[in-house]
Amino acid sequence: MATRIHVQTTLNGEAAEFLCDSRQSLLEVLRDDLGFTGTKEGCSNGNCGACSLQIDGVLVDSCLVLAAEVDGKSVNTIEGLASPAQLHPLQQKFLEHAALQCGICTPGFIMAAKALLEKNPKPTEHEVRYWLAGNLCRCTGYDKIVRAVLDAAESMEASA
């Protein structure tokens, strides 16, 4: 039996540490051990994007990251997005555009869209669709999601 691994990380800006098994994914540790259940599990093999989050600013599927790998790294999840005072513009626009139906894919989409807007603050519709192709939604047909992201980009640009 492998020994448990001590991991020190930064989680949504706060220092965090945990013990994990080598075989535990980052997704599993976040959800089952740390109680951060906002990141969702849809397929556990990197094909749906529901578990999207950022590690050192890079968008990844957390089901395909071993928890042990984030030692010394900074992890950002959906739970860290809104401020106490208000929702992030992406969250607000998802609500205004009715860009979620069941909502299970929503945290992953919002985290992916956040990473997009950090890299490309004024994406075209095609760029949004290309970037979000790793996130599956089965409810909305993507129409309102794409509109919400484009609108959020515009409003963030305006307030920047």
Partner 1 sequence: MQTFDYVAAQTVDEAVSLLASKGDQARVLAGGTDLIVQLREGRRQLETVVDVKKIPEANVLSYDAQNGLHLGAAVACHRIYNDPVISKTYPGLMDAFTLIGGIQIQGRASVGGNLCNSSPAADSTPTLIAHRTMCVIAGPNGQRVVPVEQFCTAPGRNVLENGEFLLSLRVPAPPNNFGAHYLRFIPRNEMDIAVVGVGSSLMLGDDKSTVTDARIALGAVAPTPLVAVEAAAALVGKPISDDTIAAAASAAASIARPIDDMRGTVQQRIHLTGVLTRRTLQGALSRARGES
Partner 2 sequence: MAEATAYQVIGTRPVRPDGADKVTGRAIYGADVRMPGMLHGKVLRSPHAHARIKSIDTSKAEALPGVKAVVTHKDLPEAPDKIANLGEGAVNLKFLSNNVLAQEKALYRGHAIAAVAAINVHVAEEAVNLIEVEYEVLPPVLTTPEAMQEGAPMLHAGMTTTSLGEKTDRESNVASHYRFTLGDVAEGFKQADLVIEREFDTATVHQGYIEPHNATAMWNEEGHVTIWTSTQGAFVVQKQSSEVLGIPVSQVSVIPAEIGGGFGGKIPVYLEPVAALLSRKTGHPVKLVMSRIEEFESTGPTPGSRLKVKMGATRDGRVVAAEASLAFEAGAFPGSPVGPGGMCIFAPYSFPNMQVDGYDVVVNKPKTTAYRAPGATNAAFASETIMDEFAEQLGIDPLQLRVMNGAKEGDRRVDGPTHPQIGFLETVHAALEHEHYNTPLEGPNRGRGVASGFWFNVGLQSSVVINVNSDGTVSLVEGSTDIGGTRASIAMQAAEVLGIPYESVRPTVAGTDGVGYTDVTGGSRTTFATGYAAYEAANDVVRQMKERLAERWSNEQEEGADALSAEDVTYSGGVFGCSKGADKAVSFQEMAELMPRTGGPISGRATVQPRGVGGAFATHIVDVEVDPDTGKVSILRYTAVQDVGKAIHPSYVEGQIQGGVTQGIGWALNETYMYREDGNMSNASFLDYRMPTCLDLPMIDAVLVEVPNPGHPFGVRGVGEVPIVPPPAAVANAIYRATGKRMTDLPMSPGYVLDKMRA
Of 17 and 96, the one with the shorter C-beta distance to partner 1 is: 17
Q: Is 37 in the site for partner 2 (CB under 8 A)?
A: yes
Instruction: Pick the closest to residue 115 from 61, 77, 58 (CA basis).
Output: 58
Q: Is 58 in the site for partner 1 (CB under 8 A)?
A: yes
Which residue of 70, 100, 115, 149 would you call a contact of partner 1, by CB under 8 A? 115
Shortest distance (Å) from residue 157 CB to partner 1: 21
Contacts 24+ apart (CB under 8 A), 79-82: 79/12, 79/36, 79/38, 80/11, 80/12, 80/13, 81/110, 81/111, 81/114
Q: Is 130 in the site for partner 1 (CB under 8 A)?
A: yes
Read off the amino acid at residue 98. A
Shortest distance (Å) from residue 95 CB to partner 1: 24
Q: Rounded distance, CA 47 to CA 32, Å?
A: 21
Element (DSSP H or E) covering residue 152: helix 143-159
Which residues form the interface with partner 2 (CB under 8 A)?
Answer: 21, 23-24, 28, 31-32, 35-45, 47-48, 50, 77-79, 81-82, 87, 91, 94-98, 100-107, 110, 125, 128-130, 132-147
